[in-house]
Amino acid sequence: MIIEFLKMGGYGFYVWSSFLIVFIFCSLLFYRTRKTLKKYENEFAKELEKLPAKHKKRIAKSSKVISSILASQNKLS
């Protein structure tokens, strides 16, 4: 029964190879996107470090995204 499911009426090779290809490309896309996001977060954190402390606090209060970036950068330091 399981073998018949895997064979899928003779189309199993095409179906499972398609799933594998899609999984590989989605994984690569995820990895590249995550890597790019981390790069931009680091660049943004460096730019924020150039600002005075008063401005950083005001900006961090106004945006949840910025405050989370600052928090993650503080963990790494």
Instruction: Give the tens place of pLDDT for each residue, 5-28.
Output: 889 999 999 999 999 999 999 999
What's the pLDDT score for residue 76?
A: 63
What is the greatest pairwise CA distance in the chain? 68
Give the total number of structural domains in the chain: 1
Domain extent, residue 47, equals: 2-76
pTM higher than 0.75 = no
**77 — pLDDT class (breaks 50, 70, 90):** low
Burial of 2 (0-12, 13-18, 19+ CB in 10 A): exposed
Q: Give residue 21's pLDDT.
A: 98
Is the model's pLDDT at 29 over the cut of 90?
A: yes
**In this predicted structure, what is the pLDDT of residue 20?**
97
